[in-house]
Amino acid sequence: MEMNPGHIVKFIRQKEYTYQRKVGRGGTGKAILVKDEITGMNFVCKKYSPYNADRQNEYFPRFIDEIKIMYLLSHKNIVRIYNYFLYPEHTTGYILMENIEGEAINNYLLFQSNEVFESIFIQLIEGFEYLEQNKVLHRDIRNENILITNDGVVKIIDFGFGKKIEIESEKEASILLNWPVSDFPEEIHDRKYNHQTEIYFLGKLFNKLLEDYDVSGFKYQHIIDKMILSNPKKRIESFYEIMQCLSEDTFVEIDFTDYEKAIYITFVEQLISHIKLIKNELSTVNEPKEIINSLESVIKNSLLEQVLQNNNDLISCFIDCGYTYSTKKDIKIETIRDFYAFFKKLSNTRQNILISNIATRLKTIKTEYEEDDDMPF
């Protein structure tokens, strides 16, 4: 059949799933566990069905907004949406999402070591920094909406009250839905809610867990103290800034010399400045040996050059996904050699720390998502 642009493509057979069990119910819907018999994967299927049926029409746009927000998100620390089904004529719909085997953060952290608290805190910041990059406000930060898998991976869930900030206007939300605290940040009195407000509530939540479980000597307490300041002018400004603080703390702890830090900074700033944007989701090269071999190849192919002739050769040493880059030829081969020599002599632990810090820098680059219409042709 000949098709023209705008033609509606309909599938004859609907996708079918096998019911497993009930999962639970929230204020705007109920959820069941279903299985895809083809792949053998389990999914949580959330149905839009408000507890208060009188408000079914009122809340339906919010359900659609949740789909719009979640469909563009792809991060290891954020629950993944796989499909959705909308039935506007019946004012209902379904979201098919990742099944998370785990428990709420407050239950998971009971009786855990400081090292586990530190790992969970870092993952939380990484997840919320990703939301910040994509201009998404969660607006419902509470223990029940932060799950930890059986493998210790943080999963931020439930974007039913989430909001996508318009790039043009940077609108702020005026709704207060977060985990209850005894005192609120000052901007709440002006009906403002932004990512700095999310920093406050996340800091308060985590700080209470530390207090409730009598955790002393928490490595990042000084960062949390900056997160929970009521005055936004004194509070840490962004999740990106928190990631930078975490990165700097690691450098200090391992005791890199000023000379080593200078080599790293010079190199990474040259690398970052030549990457224009990341396509879809950032994927980095994490194996030290693979990076060393790639850098050796770049250097060997530039023995007679003073500046790199193809920036892609260097960028691909660290990024394993789509990206666009500047073709300006001003990355000095000497800078690459210095970093290579420095990186190669480090212990494996110190190499991994540098790789982690480079990945943190790469996360600051603008990400552009390609629209996936989910059609087979």
- Residue where a domain terminates, one of 98, 128, 158: 98
What does the DSSP 8-state code read for residue 196? H
Q: Say if residue 325's pLDDT is above 90.
A: yes
Q: Say if residue 18's pLDDT is above 80.
A: yes
Most confident option among 12-16, 45-49, 331-335, 373-377:
331-335
Amino acid 167: pLDDT? 36
**Beta-carbon count within 10 A of 234 CB:** 9
Amino acid 1: pLDDT? 57
**pLDDT level of residue 376 (50, 70, 90 thresholds):** very low
Whole-number percent of the chain with pLDDT over 90: 51
Q: Are strands 18-26 and 367-368 parallel, antiparallel or unpaired?
A: unpaired
Angle, in degrees to the nearest 10, between helices 239-254 and 348-362: 160
Residue 377 within a domain: no
Of 114-118, 170-174, 240-244, 287-291, give the lowest mean pLDDT range.
170-174
Amino acid 69: pLDDT? 82
Residue 226: burial class (beta carbons within 10 Å; 0-12, 13-18, 19+): middle
Q: How far apart are CA 188 and CA 243, in angstroms?
A: 25
Amino acid 164: pLDDT? 58
Q: In this predicted model, what pLDDT tens digit does every residue of 71-92 receive, in sequence order?
A: 888 898 999 989 999 999 999 9
Q: Say if residue 175's pLDDT is above 70.
A: no
Q: How many domains does the chain have?
A: 3
**pLDDT level of residue 161 (50, 70, 90 thresholds):** low
Residue 11 within a domain: no
- Residue where a domain terminates, one of 196, 215, 249: 249
Q: Would the CA dihedral through 254, 258, 259, 261 be positive or negative? A: positive
Q: Which residue reads 């879809």 in tokens?
A: 280
- Residue where a domain terminates, one of 209, 234, 249: 249
Better-predicted residue by pLDDT, 102 or 190: 102
Residue 358 within a domain: yes
Q: Does residue 193 share a domain with residue 150?
A: yes
Q: Does residue 113 share a domain with residue 93?
A: no
| Mean pLDDT rounded to a whole number for the chain | 86
Amino acid 251: pLDDT? 55
Q: Does residue 158 share a domain with residue 57?
A: no
Q: Does residue 214 share a domain with residue 191?
A: yes
Better-predicted residue by pLDDT, 161 or 115: 115
Q: Does residue 193 share a domain with residue 117?
A: yes
Most confident option among 164-178, 275-289, 328-342:
328-342
Q: Say if residue 168's pLDDT is above 60.
A: no
Residue 197 within a domain: yes
Residue 35 within a domain: yes
Q: Does residue 136 share a domain with residue 72?
A: no
Q: Say if residue 17's pLDDT is above 50.
A: yes
Q: What is the mean pLDDT of residues 276-289?
A: 88
Residue 239 within a domain: yes
313, 336 Cβ separation under 8 angstroms: no
Q: In this predicted model, what pLDDT tens digit does every residue of 236-255 receive, in sequence order?
A: 999 998 988 887 665 555 56
Whole-number percent of the chain with pLDDT over 70: 88
Alpha-helical segments (H) within the chain = 56-71, 105-108, 114-133, 195-212, 221-227, 239-254, 258-273, 288-300, 311-315, 333-345, 348-362
Q: Does residue 204 share a domain with residue 79?
A: no
Structural domain of 310: 256-368
Q: Does residue 112 share a domain with residue 231?
A: yes
Q: Say if residue 375's pLDDT is above 60.
A: no
Amino acid 103: pLDDT? 95
Better-predicted residue by pLDDT, 54 or 225: 225
Q: Does residue 195 share a domain with residue 310?
A: no
Q: Does residue 221 share a domain with residue 175?
A: yes
Q: How far apart are CA 96 and CA 45, in angstroms?
A: 5
Q: Say if residue 10's pLDDT is above 50.
A: yes
Per-residue burial over 305-335, b = 16 or more CB atoms within 10 Å of its CB, e = otherwise = eeebeebebbbebbbeeebebeeeeebebeb
Q: Does residue 41 share a domain with residue 119?
A: no
What does the DSSP 8-state code read for residue 145? G
Q: How far apart are CA 117 and CA 53, in angstroms?
A: 40
300-to-40, 270, 294, 296, 341 alpha-carbon distances in Å:
48, 19, 10, 6, 14
Q: Does residue 135 share a domain with residue 59?
A: no
332, 300 Cβ separation under 8 angstroms: no
